[in-house]
Structure formats: C-alpha cells, structure tokens
Amino acid sequence: MQDREVPAVPSLGPAERRRAARHLLLDGFGVAAQERLAASKVVVVGAGGLGSPVLQYLAAAGVGTLGIVDDDVVDASNLQRQVLHSVADVGRAKTTSAADVLRGLAPDVEVVAHRDRLTRDNARAILGGYHLVVDGSDTFETRYAVSDAAASLGLPVVWGTVLGWDGQVSVFWSAAPDGRAITYPDVFGPQPPEGESCATVGVLSPACGVVGSTMAVEAVKVLTGTGEPALGRLLAYDARTSAWDTIVLAPPPPGPPGGAVAPGAEGAGLAATPVPAGSGTAAASTGTVARPATRLAAPGVLLLDVGLRPGAVPGAVFARLEDLAAGNFPPELLDHPVDGPVLVVCERGLRSRGAEELLRAEGWRDVTSRALLG
C-alpha cells in the first residue's frame, strides 16, 4: 500500500532508536519502517473499548502524531473494557484521560484531542491532515460518516467492531491500488438503523483487547508498507473458540449497462470464503440467474436470504452476512440437516457466494448460491 507511503523523518535519534530497538531488530521492518511511523499522523475515532488498545499500542510503537476523537466522558461502566482509563478518570473527558496516558507512555508523541462527536458535517475537517483513520466507533451513523469523509479525502481506514463475543476487523481504502479499492458501504450496504450495542447485549472485555490490538497491527502495516494489510479481507473473531476466520472481499461490481442500478441492488463486496486454519478449497459457487424468488427453492430446500433488504424474498429465512461470519446462525438453519439442501440468495450474488463458502466451511454439505438479479 505504498502508493500512499508516509514520508520518513530524516533520522531517528539515539533515544528513539533505543526505545524502538525491538522493531529495528524485526525481520522485514527495520529503521525505514520506524522512521515512517515517527512521521505518521493517525486519527483514532473513539477512545473506548477498541480505541484504548489501539491508542496505547500506536503510541508505544512510535507513531508521531495521534488524534483522538471522542465527545464522551468516562463512566464507571466503561472501566470493564476501556483500559485506557482508570477509576480516577470517572467524569473526565475521554480525550483528556487518554491524552494524559499517552503522553506518559510516549512523551514524544504529539496528541491532538478532538472532543467532538464526529458527524457528516465535521468529519472532513477532523480527518483532514492525517495519513490514516482508525475507526473504533460504535454507531452506524459515525461509521458511515467516517467512511464517506475518508473516501473523499483518499484516506485508508482501519475498521473494527466488537459485540458480545464476536469481533471483526478490516482495512478499507477508496484509493487503493491494483483494483482493490473498497469501502465500508461496499461491504455492508446502505446505512441501516442503529441496532444492538454493548449496553444492550454486553461485551467480553478481553475481546476488545484482541480486536483493538489487531487493528493496531493493521495500522502499523499500512503506515510502514510491511506485511500484508487486511485490505480486501474481513477478519472475523469468535472469542468463544478463539478462532479467526477470513472472508475475502471483492470490489463492488459495475452497475448494469447505461449506469442504471436495479432496485434493491446490493452495494456489498463480500465475495467469498471464510478460511479457517487448515481448511481446503471450497467448491465453486453456481452462476447467477434471474428468476422469481418464489420459484428458486424446491420442497425440502432451505432458502436463505443474505441480501440487503430483510423480507424482500417471500418464504426465505433472512440472515445478515456479518452475523453468519460471526457464527450467529438463524434457528431454521441450525435445525436444517447438514446434508440437506440450502440455497443462498442475494441481489447480485456477491454476498450469497460468501455465505455459501462460509456455510460449507461450517459443515453444511449441500449449499448453492444464486443472484436474484441478472
């Protein structure tokens, strides 16, 4: 991802080299990567459960400038997972509490506190001037505002989420080279109503650390050009089993000829394969077809709709693809025999192909996928 390479500082001083010694010894990293970190400007949206490990690890790793965006204050209920803050910080602004910790951890880091609620109106102004955005927000409104502003600015976004036992991480970048440009709405479609939150369903506190630390790893790779960032991949974490699955993403397809987009056409790019460790190559998906949904499934076939509009397919069981990736399967699917036929559908076949491969990896043997639109 070095088309947007961060310029390196002229050189690291003796104290910086001593502090970063374990990075400098790291195969494939070295002085050049550390100098790019020192020159990097990263803005982190949210100083909560995910922002806490992200901010601490990026400061410790040697990122030169860290922006913190959060308009909230520390509450006692935050302390279960938001390890950047302490009991003494209850009632203080999270940006202030976070800045104090980061300056104590890495005195040379420049901390910029944005005590603001990021919205579509101010997102460009807040994110502009940074090299990378890390989105640890917990509402769809903020995620879509971040995505739209970052896309307009050409900024890569490291995104993550945790709810209950499950987490997800990916890297989105509207200006990615080699045909890999993909954004958050490309994967998850239009902005939905707000759903469940940690306040309503809970969250396992160490899972925030696992996902937040993974986000920090992705940020370092993007900034330094080392390793292979999760661009074009969605990493799904299940704290119940400590397993990571990978869902390969594809850029959104071009619209129909003439630029018209069929009603209900999905914007998602979830195209294939969760890849559990040691798994083989799953069977290829079927081609797309265009026929009425009511004629898709024969008797005995479970019709599973993973499209963007719940209830759009009469008689189908609806499931969000991100829920399937997290291991949350609808009861009708769990009650269906593993060797019983399952037909997965969506508007254009991208999400359904991803769901097909996911279900095969989970043990269902007779799964096919089709598109509702030709």
Q: Is 314 helix (H, G, I), strand (E, B) or coil?
A: coil
* R_g (Cα) of the chain, nearest Å: 22
What are the residues whose beta carbons fall under 8 Å from the beta carbon of 41, sequence distance 6 or more?
64, 65, 67, 129, 130, 131, 132
Q: Which amino acid does the sequence have at 144?
A: Y
- Residue 198 a catalytic site member: yes
Report phi then psi at 361, rounded to 5: -65, -25
Residue 114: DSSP 8-state:
E
What does the alpha-carbon distance between residue 22 and residue 189 come to, in Å, rounded to a whole number?
41
* Buried/exposed code over 83-107 (b: 16+ C-beta within 10 A; e: otherwise): bbbeeebeeebbbbbbbbbbeeebe
What are the residues whose beta carbons fall under 8 Å from the beta carbon of 6, sequence distance 6 or more?
36, 37, 39, 40, 131, 223, 224
From the list 346, 355, 359, 371, the catalytic residue is 346
- Residue 208 a catalytic site member: no
What does the alpha-carbon distance between residue 20 and residue 199 come to, in Å, rounded to a whole number?
38
From the list 63, 155, 198, 303, the catalytic residue is 198
Torsion of CA 135, 136, 140, 144, to 10 degrees: 0
Q: Give yes or no for a contact between 346 and 352, defined as CB atoms under 8 angstroms apart.
A: yes
Alpha-carbon distances, residue 136 vs 67, 110, 189, 215, 280 (angstroms): 13, 20, 19, 9, 33
* The two three-digit tokens of residue 344, written as one number: 């997965």
Residues labelled as active-site residues: 198, 346
